[in-house]
Chain A
Amino acid sequence: MGKFRPGKYREAYFLEIDCETNANHVLSVYICTLRECNTMTVTYSSPKIAKEMSRQFGSSAQTVKVEMKYTKEVGHFIHRVESAQRDTVGSKLVFK
């Protein structure tokens, strides 16, 4: 990881370097349009695990394309849950 000075940034580019192999290999780039970036974030991702697993199990690994199903139904359900929870913020219903 490069040096990062806490402070205010309009945009921050997080470059994640593979320290394990010391190969300066950029795993992923996240472009953030944040008003403030005060801390360095560590990101975990499945592609990162996939890359390492692929390195170790190259001969027995196989990549498959997958069609995501029920996107509309699951998306609608989660949206309903999240919006109900958002609308609960600050409620004045009393329990005694």
Chain B
Amino acid sequence: MDAHRSVGPSSVKYVDVSNSFSALDFVDDEFGGNQAVKRCFSLSHSFRGKTLIIEDIPSAGIIDEEHIELLQINSGYECKDLKRLSFWRTRIGSPDGIEHQTNDDLIGYAILKLDHLPGKADKWHIFEAAFKKYEHEHNCVPCPGNYNVNILDKRFTAKAILYCQQNGLNKACAHVALRSLLSRLIPQQDISYKQLNEIAAQYSASPYRPADGLNIQQMQEVLKAFGVKYADLDYDKISKYDPAIRTAIPYQKYLYAGIESGCGGLLGFSMSGPQAKDGRHIIPFYGHTFNKDTWAPDADVNYFNIGGGVGYIPSEVWTSSFLGHDDNFGPNFCVPRLYVSPEQVQYVVELKRGSAQYGGIVAEAQALQFLYSLNPQLNLQNVWLKRLQYCSLPHVQQVVLRAICISREEYISHLESLTDWDNQTESANIIDVLIKYLPELLWVVEVSIPHLFPANEHKLGEILLNALQARDSKKSIDYKLFMLARFPAKYFLLDSVNQHGPSFLMIPSQLISHTPVFRTTQ
């Protein structure tokens, strides 16, 4: 699937983009003023980019496939130009110069196509681009993709989330948003628009026209076809019989759970503003920022009430912005978490890890119930358990929960690596048992308390749920999901359940105080 990124150039140009270079003039003159291309130059500028290499390249792989598809849609179609732009932190002025460059020197690349249709103005669009995230530690992009690209016939790897732009011909915003997220999740590591359109065409009541976009069913079928599990909600439809749905089940929870699990999410919304077109737009999200000084949790603005006065502080309240692409405007934007108003949001999708059977919002609610039910059993002799017990009392409910879906191996490796505030580590015997008896995929709902979570990024433990076990919707409590709860000095394991309720086995943990939260690979 890398063929279109691996082709060698037919001609090369080196542009010095430091000092007096004007990106706006350059993009206006060379690329029809394309806004998304301007954004690529802005990103390069943020990394103090020094050189732009422009390669004329032949089409190959999935770009070839796209040309065939476009000719079928419109026999007069022609790709009049195809260029690969790469942005560098270093000065490069000759082919020899590339030999000394490393992946760290590459800020990002973009493949640009000039589409020609008879009777219409030629139009540039970005077939794909991949730019590094900002290096700030609070700019979190879990599990970025690795995109191999040849520049002047030397192979580089861009660690990023693929950005793609619609062309209004064979792909709309929904197509490019799906490709952006799927390309790093599926084993083939990329998808072509031809594949995507073939799936969507099967679920079209009228003759299928890719330029008209995709409906929710078509997006669901694409995800299913690539074996990607998801949890989604059509607010537009559900709000017709449940008017409070947008506040009861906020869209941010879906996005955050997908992002933290390394899969991302999609947000569909109606547009507003002076340049808004009719219709709805959908964009991918894949990361978030973290602001430990945010005021919102203290002000109870973002306390999440699941109903009946039961609630908690979701960890996403320390997220100032979600990181995402907008195909109209370019890659790697920060979209403030509360910027898109709930009334505007029509649809949200949380992409789930592996074969996870339920989403993060259900995992957090289920874990919350176990935590609050275990509250009377927390031993007050341990100061951290005492604090946790206080924060999880019915009249306090100030616990912080963070749900992440990870593999058994990731969890075990995390547990093995933990050293608590008192320099204690977990017993090898416990870890040996967990390696044997935990399922392959887990929802790990981390439990923390205010101040400890934002200031130290530490937690007091976690509740593990079996992510591969489908929840029995007929049961009010599905005990089969529960695997264990770990708190300072204690594990709780489900021993048995009878008509009087559950019994839990308590065993000691060598971790007696707080530990760092789980961090996904960045």
Contacts and interface: CB of A to CB of B under 8 A. Distances in A.
B232 A93 contact: no
B107 interface: no
Interface string B424-436: 0000011001101
A34 interface: no
Contacts of A26: none
Contacts of B214: 94-96
B242 A80 contact: yes
Nearest to B306: A77
* B contact patch SS: mixed
A22 to B, nearest CB: 15
A75 to B, nearest CB: 4
A11 to B, nearest CB: 18
B476 interface: yes
30 contacts: A44-B438, A47-B496, A49-B434, A54-B505, A56-B429, A61-B506, A62-B505, A66-B504, A69-B373, A71-B369, A71-B476, A74-B306, A78-B365, A78-B471, A80-B242, A80-B248, A80-B249, A81-B361, A81-B362, A85-B233, A92-B217, A93-B236, A93-B347, A94-B214, A95-B172, A95-B279, A95-B280, A95-B282, A96-B211, A96-B280
Contacts of B282: 95
Interface string A48-81: 1110111011001111111111111111111111
B433 to A, nearest CB: 5
Nearest to A56: B429
Contact of B491 (A48, A53, A73): A53
B215 A93 contact: yes
A96 B249 contact: no
Interface stretch (B123-131, B286-294, B478-486): B478-486
B395 to A, nearest CB: 13
A96 B483 contact: no
Given A53-B491, A89-B220, A66 B377 contact: yes
Given A46-B482, A46-B483, A68-B369, A91 B505 contact: no
A53 B236 CA distance: 49
A90 B484 CA distance: 36
A31 interface: no
Contact of A84 (B238, B308, B469, B504): B238
A87 B438 contact: no
Contacts of B504: 63-64, 66
B502 interface: yes
Contacts of B242: 80, 84
A45 interface: yes
Interface of A: 20, 44-50, 52-54, 56-57, 60-82, 84-85, 87-96
B212 A94 contact: yes
Most buried by B among A64, A71, A89: A64
Contacts of B233: 84-85, 88
Nearest to B502: A66
A50 B372 contact: no
B503 A78 contact: no
B234 A77 contact: no
Contact of B507 (A20, A61, A65): A61
B237 interface: yes
Contacts of B506: 61-64
Given A56-B429, A93-B237, 19 more contacts: A46-B479, A46-B493, A57-B508, A61-B506, A66-B376, A67-B501, A69-B372, A78-B366, A80-B249, A84-B238, A85-B232, A85-B233, A85-B359, A88-B234, A88-B238, A93-B346, A95-B215, A95-B268, A95-B347
Contact of A65 (B216, B306, B483, B503): B503
Nearest to A60: B508
A73 B310 contact: yes
A44 to B, nearest CB: 4
A24 B500 CA distance: 30
Contact of B308 (A62, A66, A70): A70
Contacts of B469: 44
B339 interface: no
Nearest to A45: B480
Interface in B196-235: 211-217, 219-220, 231-234
Contacts of A56: 429, 433
Contacts of B71: none
B368 A74 contact: yes
A53 B347 contact: no
B215 A91 contact: yes
Contacts of A64: 377, 503-504, 506
A85 B91 CA distance: 52
Contacts of B482: 46
A76 B103 CA distance: 51
Which 5 A-B residue pairings sit nearest by Cβ, starting from the closest? A96-B213, A46-B494, A73-B308, A75-B476, A50-B493
A76 B369 contact: no
B508 A94 contact: no
Contacts of A67: 373, 501
A73 B507 CA distance: 29
B281 interface: yes
A77 B347 contact: no
